Amino acid sequence: GAGVSQSPSNKVTEKGKDVELRCDPISGHTALYWYRQSLGQGLEFLIYFQGNSAPDKSGLPSDRFSAERTGGSVSTLTIQRTQQEDSAVYLCASSLRQTSGELELFFGEGSRLTVL
């Protein structure tokens, strides 16, 4: 597609439920990133994928969070047993490749998660 696509754009769930957020990166981009943005806060890095390399999961806040990337393209971020503090906008970004900050990131519009 022309840009990074994320779905759903809004998700309201009850505490304790599992949620899945989807990201479809720009075609040909080998690097994919997930960030979280809470109200009034900056972007918090969660995880990134680069080609066939093992993902960098160092930003995942707990073992309730996981992500996978199938076929080097679409990625799914899963949050199990959601908590109210998980409420945030989850942003996905992609870039041509993962380098030392030399390339710009292209962001999707985000998935706004509200946990009641």
**Interface positions with another protein (CB under 8 A):** 4, 33, 35, 41-43, 45, 48, 56, 59, 91, 93, 98-102, 104-110
* DSSP string for 6-43: EE-SEEEE-TT--EEEEEE--TT--EEEEEEE-TT--E
Of 15 and 87, CB closest to another protein: 87
Instruction: Determine the Cα–Cα distance for residues 19 and 115; give it in Å rounded to an integer.
Output: 10
CB of 81 to another protein, least distance (A): 25
Angle at 99 (CA atoms; ends 108, 92), nearest 5 degrees: 15
Of 43 and 74, CB closest to another protein: 43
CB of 6 to another protein, least distance (A): 8
Of 90 and 115, CB closest to another protein: 90
